[in-house]
Structure 1
Amino acid sequence: MPRQRKRQRRGSAGLIIAAVLVIGLPLLGWAGVNALTRDDTGDDSVAADDDSRTDAAGEASRGEATGSFEIAQAARDTVNACVDRLAAGDAYVASAGVGIGHWGEHVQARTDMLNGTIAQEDMKAIWKRTRLSGPDDVAQATAALEAYEALPGCGDLATLEDAPDNVLDQAAACLERETAMTTAVAASTAGLQDWANHLNAMAAHADGEMTAAAAQDLWVASWEAAPANIGAYNDAHALLVAASACE
């Protein structure tokens, strides 16, 4: 009997040990899961940091791209403003050219009559035709000049930096044309002013505000001086035509 009890105790102890081992397996399993969870949490944190750095780099890259786009767009806007300005300048030079052309015919008619290449009646016919066109010549050119002067100049093109090469090339062409335009506008204004002055003198004589002798003396002086400004306009216009396009 005692031996049998001892065996039973040993058997019970074996069962208890086995039970402990069996029960311990889930504990080890949970510990392993917890360990893996802690490892995964660590990896996720590192990955999150990497993602944050990647996102930050992306944002910086996008910021640089946005900044570059804004610089390029601002440069294009500056060029476009100059394009508008010079287009208005072209319109003024062309309009002034109509009046200066009539003034040139008016002056040349006297030259041709004195040289005997046309009759006095032909001279007077040219004078009448050009004189009647004169007021519209001056009015239209004056309006065109005001439109030109109302637009900002092209000086900002010289300060462009970090713009795309093609925009900088456009800016250089526009600056070259602006130089020619400035000369052409000045010559247009001088030539047109001579025509306006003579028209005013003729109107003053017609209204009795000037004697015939005074009007004749003024006319001869204007006729002698006229070729200088007419020639300057023609030369400046030719240079403008040959200048680089601003577009």
Structure 2
Amino acid sequence: MPRQRKRERRGSAGLVIAALLVIGLPLLGWAGVNALTGGDSGNDSAAAADGSRTDAAGEASRGETPGSFEVAQIGREAVSACVERMAAGQAYVESAGVGIGHWGEHVQARTDMLAGTVVQEEMRAIWKRTRLAGPDDVAQATAALEAYDALPGCDDLGSLEGALPEVADQAAACLEREAAMTTAVAASTAGLQDWANHLNAMAAHADGEMTAAAAQDLWVASWEAAPVNIGAYNDAHALLAAAPACE
């Protein structure tokens, strides 16, 4: 029996401790409950909010905007495409220049013969040399023009916004060069077309498709008009050489 009573006393003591805990909890408050349970304080949410504000402030102080990397990448790709097109345009202008140069020699030979600075034999030798080179001149330049036309233009650079400064500078230089290139390509095409037309006329005369009189009249008209497009090519080529590089 004594043992039984001891167990009862211990049981009563346990009930008393539990009762004290239940009664005391409202008095301890939130901080006390957390101290007893080992939980976190309610300041964590505020701290997290402060951290978010700090991070946001840091981002703003660095001047970073959403999508700035993507915009810059698009700008770099647009510049790269324009660089490729400008290189192809340069190749065409130079190739056309070979043919236009031969056409200029062909025209100048008659001018010099009429001025008495060369004899007819010299004139005819120049004519033969340039005429034989003519078909290859036209074929190579035509292939270069097709390669140039197959590439996209530089229009995307004009609407580029938000690019990094170095990309914006490249875009401005490329757009300026494109304007000069457009003029040079047009002048190249006009000058080369004059040469191709004369080559076709000579071939037609050789094949008996044109009388000697008609061929001579056409040749004289072409000779008189030739300096306009040859001069335009030379001027456009000089402007292109002075234009900013697109690279």
Task: Confirm or deny a common fold (TM above 0.5).
Answer: yes
Match of 2:160 in 1: 160
Match of 2:121 in 1: 121
Match of 1:40 in 2: 39
Contact 2:92 2:148 in 1 (8 A): yes
Q: Which amino acid aligns with 1:235?
A: D
Whichever structure has more helix as a proportion of its residues is: 1
1:64-110 deviations in whole A, cap 9, x for unaligned? 66611110010111111111111111000000000000000000001
Listed as ranges, the matches of 1:55-94 within 5 Å are 57=56, 67-94=67-94
- 1:182 Cα deviation from its structure 2 partner: 0.7
Q: Which amino acid aligns with 1:154?
A: C
TM-score by length of 2: 0.81
1:99 maps onto 2:102 in alignment? no
Seen in structure 2, the aligned counterparts of structure 1 residues 142 and 35 have a Cα distance that, compared at 3 Å, is: closer
Distance 1:159 1:219 in 2: 48
1:214 maps onto 2:214 in alignment? yes
Distance 2:39 2:135 in 1: 90
Match of 1:180 in 2: 180
Give the 3-state SS of the residue equivalent to 1:117 in structure 2. Answer: coil
Contact 2:109 2:123 in 1 (8 A): yes
Distance 2:47 2:98 in 1: 74
- 1:46 Cα deviation from its structure 2 partner: 2.4
- 1:43 Cα deviation from its structure 2 partner: 3.8
Distance 2:37 2:111 in 1: 107
State the structure with more CA Rg.
1
Give the 3-state SS of the residue equivalent to 1:153 in structure 2. Answer: coil
Q: How many residues align?
A: 227
Q: Which amino acid aligns with 1:41?
A: D
Distance 2:84 2:54 in 1: 42
Match of 2:133 in 1: 133
Distance 2:181 2:103 in 1: 22
Match of 1:147 in 2: 147
Distance 1:141 1:243 in 2: 22
- 1:161 Cα deviation from its structure 2 partner: 0.8
Root-mean-square deviation (CA, aligned residues, Å) is: 3.2
Distance 1:39 1:54 in 2: 28
1:233 maps onto 2:233 in alignment? yes
Which is worse superposed, 30-39 or 113-122? 30-39
- 1:38 Cα deviation from its structure 2 partner: 5.2
Match of 1:13 in 2: none
Seen in structure 2, the aligned counterparts of structure 1 residues 38 and 239 have a Cα distance that, compared at 3 Å, is: same
TM-score by length of 1: 0.81
- 1:119 Cα deviation from its structure 2 partner: 1.1
Q: Which amino acid aligns with 1:115?
A: A
Is there any run of 5+ residues in structure 1 with no aligned partner, and where? 1-15
Contact 2:89 2:148 in 1 (8 A): yes
Distance 2:13 2:209 in 1: 133
1:214-242 deviations in whole A, cap 9, x for unaligned? 00000000000000100000000000000
- 1:40 Cα deviation from its structure 2 partner: 2.8
